[in-house]
């Protein structure tokens, strides 16, 4: 397999910095691309500080820039901005994307790879999900909740590009697998996020605490079931998924975590509600399937953010 001499990570948030640090630590050539030049300069000067689950901390030097023209054409571009910034992110990264560049989104929500495909030939676009969790404490300061597996694939079946990208993560000691149905993987995560994120953000509760209150626990399951029905109506092969059980398992496994939407609300940042629950509502309408719970959650989150 041809090595990846140049990796660009777009987005210096929690997940972008985490992945940049892990890949850089493994000796891979990584550059963080930020649209804010001053923040990029701080990252380049101070590196990325990781506060690990065991309480240990370490700082990893990571090159960063606000000028894509200053970086050579990339072999792999990893998009890890918030989902509502996908369009701006791919436009900003355009100078580092060539014919041989693969562009991978590991963002939350639905519709991200479709945006990328409007700017990059579909054969070069990859999509996936990660179960890692992290909180942004400040510029380049990350509290790591856990480092999980990555599942990725090519929406148009470009197996070779998908496998090459997965191998990059494996070289950094991360678990990465290729799926031949990446849409199913994206929907599985979207169903989980659609239940946990808005309810966590609205109640201020950590993931595990959502299970401690019977009304909330029931609502979690109902929201997940509604999203699951939309996925099935759209033709996704998720018949083996028990949405309620899956959401509860994730809450238990990440019990101490503040979901990303709760972090956004507490920090006064925009949320990804439109790219998660809002997208489920839109796709429900496309299949004439009512989604009253997801619609209500979109309205409520917009009311508090």
Active site residues: 189
Closest by CA to 162, choosing from 127, 186, 204, is 127
Contact 80, 48 (CB under 8 A): no
φ/ψ of 4, rounded to 5, equals -100, 100
**Residue 98, SS3?**
coil
Closest by CA to 204, choosing from 240, 137, 250, 258, is 258
Structure tokens that stand for 57 in this block: 């901390």
φ/ψ of 183, rounded to 5, equals -60, -40
Contact 193, 109 (CB under 8 A): yes
Closest by CA to 128, choosing from 257, 246, 19, 22, is 19
Burial 27-43 (b: 16+ CB within 10 A, else e): ebbbbbbbbeeebbebb
Distance CA 9, CA 11 (A): 6
167, with CB counted inside 10 A (0-12, 13-18, 19+), is middle
Structure tokens that stand for 108 in this block: 């939350």
Q: Which residues contact 270 (CB under 8 A, 6 or more apart)?
A: 82, 84, 264, 305
Distance CA 292, CA 297 (A): 9
Structure tokens that stand for 181 in this block: 């149905």
Element (H, E) at 33: strand 30-33
């Amino acid at each position: 397999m041809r090595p990846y001499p140049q990796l660009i990570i777009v987005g210096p948030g929690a997940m972008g910095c985490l992945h940049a640090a892990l890949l850089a630590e493994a000796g891979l050539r990584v550059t963080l691309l930020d649209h804010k030049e001053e923040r990029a300069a701080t990252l380049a000067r101070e590196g990325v500080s990781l506060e690990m689950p065991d309480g240990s901390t370490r700082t990893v030097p990571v090159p960063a820039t606000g000028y894509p023209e200053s970086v050579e054409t990339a072999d792999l571009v990893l998009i890890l901005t918030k989902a509502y910034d996908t369009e701006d992110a791919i436009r900003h990264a355009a100078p580092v994307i060539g014919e041989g560049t693969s562009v991978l989104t590991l963002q939350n929500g639905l519709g991200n790879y479709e945006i990328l495909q409007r700017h990059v030939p579909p054969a070069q676009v990859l999509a996936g999900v990660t179960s890692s969790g992290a909180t942004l404490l400040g510029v380049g300061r990350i509290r790591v909740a856990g480092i999980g597996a990555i599942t990725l694939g090519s929406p148009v079946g470009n197996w070779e590009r998908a496998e090459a990208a997965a191998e990059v993560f494996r070289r950094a000691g991360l678990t990465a697998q290729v799926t031949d149905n990446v849409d199913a993987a994206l929907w599985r995560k979207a169903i989980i996020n659609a239940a946990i994120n808005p309810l966590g953000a609205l109640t201020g509760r950590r993931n595990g605490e959502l299970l401690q209150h019977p009304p909330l626990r029931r609502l979690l399951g109902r929201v997940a079931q509604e999203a699951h029905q939309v996925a099935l109506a759209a033709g996704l092969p998720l018949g083996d998924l028990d949405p309620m059980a899956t959401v509860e398992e994730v809450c238990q496994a990440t019990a101490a975590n503040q979901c990303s939407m709760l972090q956004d609300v507490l920090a006064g940042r925009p949320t990804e509600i439109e790219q998660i629950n809002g997208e489920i509502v839109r796709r429900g309408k496309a299949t004439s399937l009512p989604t009253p719970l997801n619609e209500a959650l979109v309205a409520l989150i917009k009311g508090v953010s």
